[in-house]
A and B are shown apart, each in its own frame.
Chain A
Amino acid sequence: MFKTFHKGGVHPPENKLSAGRPVEPFPVPATVAILLSQHMGAPAKAIVEKGAAVKTGQLIAKGEGFLSGNIHSSVTGKVSRIEAVTDASGYKRQAVFIEAVADEWFDDINTDTLLDKEIKLNAAEIINKINESGIVGLGGATFPSHVKLSVPRGKKADFLIVNGVECEPYLTADHALMLEKPGEIMVGIEILKKALGVTQAHIGIEANKPDAIALMQKFASEYTGVKVHPLKVKYPQGGEKQLIKAITGREVPSGGLPVDVGVVAFNVGTVFAVYEAVQKNKPLIERVVTVTGKNIKNPANFRVRLGTPVAGLIEAAGGLSENTGKIIMGGPMMGKALAIADIPVVKGTSGILLLQDDEASRNKPQPCVRCGKCVAVCPMGLEPYLLMPLSQKNEFDRLESEHIMDCMECGSCSYICPSARPLLDFVRSGKNNVGKIIRSRKKQ
């Protein structure tokens, strides 16, 4: 039996069409639009102006808020404009546009691919380097990594957990990365262990990637205190709290953080970015993106410079077919549907998924038949059938006491409902409202 979390979960068809495709370097585009907001927290502040010449890897915006991160140029060229562009959420946000001319790397960034195992920096230097390099969680939450590594006073980390689960159907970016860069990921783990002052690291990988499990196991055997855990294939196994539960049996308390139970977790993509930042001095300017869908001719895993337009990726994978109904940034369970394909890749972009018309349409909602399936699948132990009408009726106090804020927006409830009720839509809006109330209460 593989380890897993114990409460709820669903098993959507995996559809890993791009599994087994190597990571292909995607050509540097002629123009990139680098969003200033690619992390949680406040947007970074641009430090370059129109007309400035920048090199690949050069700092172009400083993260100033608590949960924000630095942003670097992903190409070499000239800043053509700084203006708003539509992002994945459909809102206009500031971006630095750069016309690429060449690919000259800034300063002393090391672009060779030799595996560099020796860790020279101490813990504080590592954290600082990660901060400077603009590394945020690449799993999609885009939480700044240096913040996670700065364990608050009075708390202690016992383990590092590495998330190689990739439980979203269709996505294979992390899988491909593990197959291609196992040595680098191991060194990244050692770096993070050093930064956290822990001796144990656990890597969780869903059992549907046996090649990645075997390879990581082989590489892990060269190190002490690094263990690979094959996990049951169940969505959302890659949810941070679910992963921690599966591997350690510990339950992150409601409203708490992993470090409250002595754990800090990073996605494998983030671990690789840490390796590159610390060992090669390379800031986060590119990432692996899966481009996939049943109508995509050549499903692929691309290594893409940030700011590359999504439309270009789709073109390279075989183009948009007639009956494409939806373009999703991310996976089908938690990704965002895009209104247009002219959206730049950001740090949190794990995949681009094209759904056909028939896959994209939702069924008409019917009355709730009280089957309890939404309750059974909710990994957080909530009651979506109840939260939906409470949210419709604006009963915020009840929503709060029913723990609506614990919802991780995994979508399992909407996915399973036989009456096609849009449960998460309403839970989300309820969460927004209750969140506002909680924040305003804190301010008083």
Chain B
Amino acid sequence: MSKILTVSPSPHISSDLSVPKLMYGVVLSLIPAFIVTVYMFGLGALVITAVSVVSCVLAEMIIQRYIMDAPVRIRDGSAIVTGILLAFNLPSNLPWWMVVIGAVFAIGVGKMTYGGLGNNPFNPALVGRVFLLISFPVQMTSWPLPGASRFHYLDATTGATPLGFLKEALRNGQTVPEVMNQIPDHMQLFLGQMGGSMGEISALALILGFAWMLYKKIITWHIPVIMVGTIFAFTGILYLIDPTRNASPLFHILTGGVMLGAIYMATDLVTSPMTKKGMILYAAGIGVITVVIRKFGAYPEGVSFAILIMNAFVPLINKYIKPKRFGEEVKNG
């Protein structure tokens, strides 16, 4: 036989899973949320998303080629995902050059200083968002009202998010039941008729994306379900203790980016734990920290900070929370 046969160790077949496939799967799952945000925020949503994605991809390419002198891997799709998620965490009337700064910071500092995809401890999109929040607090907390100014970008009509409104009102001595009459009801919140970051407004659209990602086995249910469940339980206890000072648990999980954070930010493959047990601990931690920030902190929301804080614990979680070994704990009967 003249032909040289390949001799390599088993396994001899591999699944068709690949990093681009995972990343583009995430991109596809974001379509419903994107449609809702464009419907609600119009032009601004389109501009911000485009600027963010293009800046992230270009930043990654330039850094890989000219600074790290490494192979350019923009085709893996991870920069696109970061770009969309960063955009989804911003108000739709943010000046475009701030978006560029956020994107460059997200990719440059959040991802590349650690060595690129797979090595970054913090979710790059959240690193970018928090950097913008600290640098431009005013612009980052002025929220266009949904549906009010679809054809305006920078001069959109703005208002408070439900959570921000609540926090402010409570500070001014109002009670929760009084405030609830002045903001959208739960159904409107669920569908996305509220002010907020571009991608966080519609729980429905995000849950559709979640279902798709579960179906495609891109992520598992653990992190989103446990994180939302923890927030629900914790705010539920507070609500039972004093419903005049604490909003209902349903209100909490439908506002302030809980769904976006749980489904897309906390589940980031690179920065979340490896094992199911670790994921549960991590997600519960995010839930608890989110509620603590909302209740006692200066910011009305808290999801972004909670995720970044728990990101920092992931190496520790991976070190100490091991999968259940087969045959380790023997229960034979």
Q: Residues on A close to B: CB < 8 A?
A: 7, 10, 12, 90, 169, 241, 245, 249-256, 261-262, 320, 324-328, 330, 332-341, 353, 355, 359-363, 366-373, 375-376, 378-383, 385, 403, 406, 409, 411-412, 414-420, 422, 424-425, 428
Contacts and interface: CB of A to CB of B under 8 A. Distances in A.
A324 B332 CA distance: 47
Contacts of A420: 14, 18
Interface string B53-76: 000000000000000000001001
A333 B13 contact: yes
Given A368-B118, A372-B269, A406-B326, A339 B13 contact: no
Contacts of A412: 11
A332 B12 CA distance: 5
Contact of B325 (A336, A381, A422): A381
Contacts of A340: 1, 5
B273 A333 contact: no
Which of B19, B78, B276 has the most chain A CB within a 10 Å cutoff? B19
Given A254-B326, A418-B21, A418-B22, A12 B10 contact: no
A336 B10 contact: yes
Interface in B254-301: 269-276
Task: Tell me the interface secondary structure of chain B in the complex.
Answer: loop
Interface string B194-231: 00000000000000000000000000100000000000
A419 B294 CA distance: 39
Interface string B297-333: 0000000000000000000000000111111111111
B236 interface: no
B10 A411 contact: yes
B75 to A, nearest CB: 11
A325 B274 contact: no
B331 A333 contact: no
Contacts of B326: 7, 241, 245, 251, 254, 379-381, 406
Contact of A339 (B7, B11, B17): B7
B9 interface: yes
A21 to B, nearest CB: 22
27 contacts: A250-B332, A250-B333, A251-B330, A251-B331, A253-B327, A256-B327, A324-B3, A326-B7, A326-B8, A333-B10, A333-B12, A337-B8, A338-B5, A362-B14, A369-B117, A372-B272, A373-B17, A375-B323, A376-B220, A380-B327, A381-B323, A383-B275, A411-B11, A414-B14, A415-B11, A416-B14, A424-B11
A361 B328 CA distance: 36
A240 B276 CA distance: 25
Given A326-B5, A385-B274, A254 B328 contact: yes
B118 A370 contact: yes
B122 to A, nearest CB: 13
Contacts of A333: 10-13
B95 interface: no
